[in-house]
Chains A and B, each alone.
Chain A
């Protein structure tokens, strides 16, 4: 039997010792690449799930983006020729696609810092002994679990031209109003999404904060550190892994923006100011019958978001 790499590097017993000779590895272990077959059996349902729900659709989307593809009835024979980068050329020369990516960049620049800072500050506050702490924790979480359609209705009530916000602002109300103002519509959407999802990220930070050793806070307090100094020097570094998670999740969910521009700003208005790449994918792929172009937009989005996430990781995890 030929030796494996692990056999070669295994320390040999020194001369004169009576160490028991190593038991040869069973062949079935080698066949499974060193993994326990029982373990593999247990994880296989998840692997099937992962392959069916994530790997296959992603691979299929990439394949679609390089072919002339449209949905057909089963059994209908059509040519789906390889078209190289044609779909990418089509979408990258389309001003609407560029605008949608620009729109989502504006969204992320507002939404992600707001979500991250807001949820950390709130979690920090909710981690302390406050009156009605459970009530506040629940209150911040409720928008997250409420159907988007319902909360969109509330925001329309607040931000339409006759809404409560404009009534409160009086002559200071913007004209055109919030959701039909091409400069203000996307910021309103970004704030709305930050508000809606804050509860989820507060929970993430709360769990991270509860793992920070209490002794650190006590020592800092004894040394005379103020609240801001403690927050900056202990809390923020201690929750850095959670911050990375929040940044990545907020970016990914933000990049998938669809419901809010569709409902809050009537299909990506005003004048396309809130059209997101995913909204365009929906229009191109499902409404207009060009899933190949929609797939190309999706692949570009995945690549960009992966790059941004990698950037976060380098930024947050650097020493």
Chain B
């Protein structure tokens, strides 16, 4: 029996190996044209935009048709994409590529460098402007097209602020002290259970919606710059201390809310991007202010919550894929995306590019101004592991208040420095 079993092993191994070896053509030419496949995000507004964009392209390019679908469901789109790269069945373009995942996809050999196209770098530079350098990989190339951002701000519920005796039209939320005082009043007045309720859970990306916007506003820096962690600095510590106080005083609960605490009136504030305008518009009477800084000065930036477009090496007709990428990010399509979703195309001088839209959508104008000053997740090796390392330290020292905060951040920074060097 054992002999028979072992005799079958090579067959099984070959069978399994064969399963994973199709679909890639690393020698595919960047000038090759023909039909391509794309995936886009699965939220209703983006699906509607995506379908129209694809229909428009297909009408004019019968020999280079796009077959489009929503990104397959999974725990996260990053894991789905990572699996598709390994299996060799990733589509040509994915219009939902998170910048934090790009270093990993690049290491897998899954992404095409866009500046390998003759007009690649020029197109990226013209469209994105000064923020482009944040999206460069350590080898100096661009493996992603920065596409749309959701610069996060502090949303607040005007009715709950009024209930707590606060000025709903001009709330005091500029400085850390203002933010704390306002939070204390909201909870003491029982206007809401929580002043703000970001997810206190351990997933690596959760810091993008509590600590990182405050850190970006305070410092104008990325979490890691020049291979060094920036969060153990005095300013990084101030932002962490603010949140530690929020949790210690139960102004922000350390238990996860199952649902949307802001929409349900359980939290008086939320850290969100412009996508929320259409979501909360009818349910909550909201206002939006920039993320606070320690002394109340104007913030130096905010987290972008950006999504890029990636071209994947499984693509054979990369010439068409590049043309589609430019088509989907053209001024016309960007305008349609803005109209359909309220998310900000990564374009220089956005408000000047679409004056009529912002004239008729005043709520979005403040986000457009913030969009000019977005701070991205750093494009460094071991990006996801770096965020997880930070989150683990943050969860322990800030959310659960264990140990010395400065020591926790310093220890995490030492580990992050090693990871950022690719170790």
Tell whether, in the assembled complex, residue B26 and residue A266 are in contact, meaning their CB atoms are under 8 Å apart. Answer: no
User: Does A237 belong to the interface (CB within 8 Å)?
Assistant: no
User: Does B15 belong to the interface (CB within 8 Å)?
Assistant: yes
Find chain B residues with CB under 8 A from A47 CB. Answer: 4-5, 8
Minimum CB–CB distance from A293 to chain B (whole Å) comes to 10
SS class, residues of chain A in contact with chain B: loop
Contact of B384 among A153, A182, A289 (CB under 8 A): A289
| Residue in A closest to B5 when the chains form the complex, CB atoms | A47
The listed residue with most A CB atoms (<10 A of its CB), out of B255, B313, B400, is B255
Tell whether, in the assembled complex, residue A270 and residue B400 are in contact, meaning their CB atoms are under 8 Å apart. Answer: yes
User: Does B163 belong to the interface (CB within 8 Å)?
Assistant: no
User: Does A38 belong to the interface (CB within 8 Å)?
Assistant: no
Q: Mark B98-125, 1 if CB is under 8 A from A, else 0.
A: 0000001001111000000000000000
| Residue in B closest to A48 when the chains form the complex, CB atoms | B8
Contact of A70 among B83, B108, B312, B395 (CB under 8 A): B108
Find chain B residues with CB under 8 A from A75 CB. Answer: 21, 24-26, 88, 109
| Residue in B closest to A53 when the chains form the complex, CB atoms | B12
User: Does A14 belong to the interface (CB within 8 Å)?
Assistant: no
Tell whether, in the assembled complex, residue A50 and residue B5 are in contact, meaning their CB atoms are under 8 Å apart. Answer: yes
| Residue in A closest to B3 when the chains form the complex, CB atoms | A33
Tell whether, in the assembled complex, residue A286 and residue B79 are in contact, meaning their CB atoms are under 8 Å apart. Answer: yes
User: Does B369 belong to the interface (CB within 8 Å)?
Assistant: no
User: Does A212 belong to the interface (CB within 8 Å)?
Assistant: no
Tell whether, in the assembled complex, residue B255 and residue A179 are in contact, meaning their CB atoms are under 8 Å apart. Answer: yes
Tell whether, in the assembled complex, residue B20 and residue A74 are in contact, meaning their CB atoms are under 8 Å apart. Answer: yes
Find chain A residues with CB under 8 A from B200 CB. Answer: 180, 266, 269
Tell whether, in the assembled complex, residue A271 and residue B15 are in contact, meaning their CB atoms are under 8 Å apart. Answer: no
User: Does B195 belong to the interface (CB within 8 Å)?
Assistant: no
Tell whether, in the assembled complex, residue A288 and residue B384 are in contact, meaning their CB atoms are under 8 Å apart. Answer: yes
Q: Mark B198-214, 1 if CB is under 8 A from A, else 0.
A: 01111110000000000
Tell whether, in the assembled complex, residue A269 and residue B202 are in contact, meaning their CB atoms are under 8 Å apart. Answer: yes
Contact of A266 among B86, B199, B312 (CB under 8 A): B199
| Residue in B closest to A177 when the chains form the complex, CB atoms | B255
User: Does B59 belong to the interface (CB within 8 Å)?
Assistant: no
User: Does A55 belong to the interface (CB within 8 Å)?
Assistant: yes
Within 8 A of A (CB), among B84-104: 85-88, 90, 104
Find chain A residues with CB under 8 A from B348 CB. Answer: none
Tell whether, in the assembled complex, residue B9 and residue A51 are in contact, meaning their CB atoms are under 8 Å apart. Answer: yes
Tell whether, in the assembled complex, residue A51 and residue B8 are in contact, meaning their CB atoms are under 8 Å apart. Answer: yes
Minimum CB–CB distance from B398 to chain A (whole Å) comes to 10
Tell whether, in the assembled complex, residue B86 and residue A180 are in contact, meaning their CB atoms are under 8 Å apart. Answer: no
| Residue in B closest to A289 when the chains form the complex, CB atoms | B104
If A51-B5, A73-B313, A286-B79 touch, whether A266 touches B24 (CB-CB below 8 Å) is no
Minimum CB–CB distance from B108 to chain A (whole Å) comes to 5
Q: Mark A39-51, 1 if CB is under 8 A from B, else 0.
A: 0100010011011
User: Does B82 belong to the interface (CB within 8 Å)?
Assistant: yes
User: Does B396 belong to the interface (CB within 8 Å)?
Assistant: yes
Find chain A residues with CB under 8 A from B86 CB. Answer: 71-74
Find chain B residues with CB under 8 A from A267 CB. Answer: 201-203
Find chain A residues with CB under 8 A from B314 CB. Answer: 73
Tell whether, in the assembled complex, residue A182 and residue B201 are in contact, meaning their CB atoms are under 8 Å apart. Answer: no
Tell whether, in the assembled complex, residue B255 and residue A160 are in contact, meaning their CB atoms are under 8 Å apart. Answer: yes
User: Does B11 belong to the interface (CB within 8 Å)?
Assistant: yes
Q: Mark A248-281, 1 if CB is under 8 A from B, else 0.
A: 0000000000000000001111111001000000
Minimum CB–CB distance from A74 to chain B (whole Å) comes to 4
> For the complex, what is the distance from the CA of A254 to the CA of B423, rounded to whole Å?
33
Find chain A residues with CB under 8 A from B25 CB. Answer: 75
> For the complex, what is the distance from the CA of A272 to the CA of B107, rounded to whole Å?
29
If A56-B12, A71-B108 touch, whether A271 touches B5 (CB-CB below 8 Å) is no
User: Does B13 belong to the interface (CB within 8 Å)?
Assistant: yes
Minimum CB–CB distance from A142 to chain B (whole Å) comes to 22
Tell whether, in the assembled complex, residue A55 and residue B79 are in contact, meaning their CB atoms are under 8 Å apart. Answer: no
> For the complex, what is the distance from the CA of A161 to the CA of B5, rounded to whole Å?
54
User: Does A229 belong to the interface (CB within 8 Å)?
Assistant: no
Minimum CB–CB distance from B216 to chain A (whole Å) comes to 23
Tell whether, in the assembled complex, residue A266 and residue B388 are in contact, meaning their CB atoms are under 8 Å apart. Answer: no
| Residue in B closest to A162 when the chains form the complex, CB atoms | B193
| Residue in A closest to B205 when the chains form the complex, CB atoms | A287
The listed residue with most A CB atoms (<10 A of its CB), out of B15, B202, B204, B256, is B202
Tell whether, in the assembled complex, residue B16 and residue A287 are in contact, meaning their CB atoms are under 8 Å apart. Answer: no
Tell whether, in the assembled complex, residue B1 and residue A73 are in contact, meaning their CB atoms are under 8 Å apart. Answer: no
If A267-B203, A272-B392 touch, whether A73 touches B8 (CB-CB below 8 Å) is no
Q: Mark A174-214, 1 if CB is under 8 A from B, else 0.
A: 00110110100000000000000000000000000000000
Tell whether, in the assembled complex, residue B8 and residue A74 are in contact, meaning their CB atoms are under 8 Å apart. Answer: no
Find chain A residues with CB under 8 A from B253 CB. Answer: 161
Find chain A residues with CB under 8 A from B90 CB. Answer: 73
Contact of B108 among A76, A269, A270 (CB under 8 A): A76
Find chain B residues with CB under 8 A from A287 CB. Answer: 78-79, 204, 384, 388
> For the complex, what is the distance from the CA of A133 to the CA of B25, rounded to whole Å?
62
| Residue in B closest to A153 when the chains form the complex, CB atoms | B258
User: Does B22 belong to the interface (CB within 8 Å)?
Assistant: yes
Tell whether, in the assembled complex, residue B204 and residue A266 are in contact, meaning their CB atoms are under 8 Å apart. Answer: no
Minimum CB–CB distance from A100 to chain B (whole Å) comes to 12
Find chain A residues with CB under 8 A from B11 CB. Answer: 48, 51
User: Does A78 belong to the interface (CB within 8 Å)?
Assistant: yes
By Cβ-Cβ distance, the 7 closest A-B pairs, closest first, are A266-B201, A76-B109, A267-B202, A74-B88, A74-B24, A51-B12, A288-B385
20 contacts between A and B (CB under 8 A): A32-B4, A33-B3, A48-B8, A51-B12, A55-B9, A71-B108, A73-B88, A73-B108, A73-B313, A76-B24, A177-B255, A180-B254, A182-B400, A266-B199, A266-B200, A266-B203, A269-B201, A269-B202, A286-B82, A288-B388
Interface residues of A, Cβ cutoff 8 Å to B: 32-33, 35, 40, 44, 47-48, 50-52, 55-56, 59, 70-76, 78, 96, 153, 156, 160-161, 176-177, 179-180, 182, 266-272, 275, 283, 286-290
